[in-house]
Amino acid sequence: MSASEASAQRLAELVAACRHGVAFSGAGISTESGIPDFRSPGGVWTRFRNVLFDEFLASAEARHEYWRQKAEGMREFGSAAPNEGHRALAAWQRRGLIRRVITQNIDGLHQAAGSDGVLELHGTVLEVSCLDCGWRGDSKPLSARFLETGAVPPCPACEAGRLKHATISFGQNLDPDVIDAAVEEARRCDLFLVLGSSLVVEPAASLPRIARSRGATLIIINRDPTPLDRVAGLVIRESIGATLAAAEALLTRS
């Protein structure tokens, strides 16, 4: 048995044995679907400057720059599809092995794979909301309109409001209800499965610590070492999709 087969075997055993599994995903699961990690050095996002939330609120020029970045991102990566890692998690949720997916990603790929009730810590790029009247809707037609006209579209409901993709911007607070629900899952779970997160930014750094402090088994599948590897029950430095697919094959074979 190779090292990666042994890892998949151990992962399958731990997933099969848990009563309340929670998966926590970061950029690493989506890079396997071709979506670049905006934090990695030399990555595609380094040609963009970060538009801070305060600037977005205050300046029409900053809102235009924000829309240009989001619309170009949607054009380049809007057709990305879930990979076998996303699909394995959705299958495990349907069979009651994983209760909840918590993600740092804004790409909606877990939902596209069939996961329900995903807790999106950083929001979603697939929707736009009006900061002034609360209208919310599909971002795709509005991003397409921006690319056509070069102008930030007006709010379809109140016409004057500031429309923004429903992601959490730099300098913008996370949604406290989403954070509370994620912390509750971390407290209740007996298995906490980290997929493609370096666990250095909050709340990513805290959630596995909370789970671990309540006695959950921690599994970390990530390309690079993380600060929590030493307290994890299992650390795997392989492809997330291939590892989860191999574990799923073992689980459905028996």
Catalytic positions: 122
Residues interacting with Zn ion, by CB under 5 A?
A: 130, 133, 135, 155, 157-158, 161
Per-residue DSSP letter, 132: T
- Closest distance of CB 134 from Zn ion, Å: 7
Residue closer to Zn ion by CB (options 24, 56) is 56
C-alpha span between 237 and 55 (Å, rounded): 39
Q: Kindly provide the residue ranges of all beta strands, DSSP E only, lying in the chain, ordered along the sequence.
A: 21-25, 98-103, 119-120, 123-130, 136-138, 163-167, 191-195, 217-221, 234-236
Residue closer to Zn ion by CB (options 34, 134) is 134
The amino acid sitting at 246 is A
Residue closer to Zn ion by CB (options 131, 181) is 131
The amino acid sitting at 94 is R
Residue closer to Zn ion by CB (options 15, 166) is 166
- Closest distance of CB 181 from Zn ion, Å: 27
Q: Which of 217, 222, 218, 216 is nearest to 238 (CA)?
A: 222
- Closest distance of CB 46 from Zn ion, Å: 33
C-alpha span between 216 and 36 (Å, rounded): 31
How many angstroms separate the Cα of 12 from the Cα of each of 5, 237, 252? 10, 16, 10
C-alpha span between 36 and 242 (Å, rounded): 18
C-alpha span between 178 and 184 (Å, rounded): 10
- Closest distance of CB 128 from Zn ion, Å: 10
Residue closer to Zn ion by CB (options 57, 133) is 133
- Closest distance of CB 30 from Zn ion, Å: 30
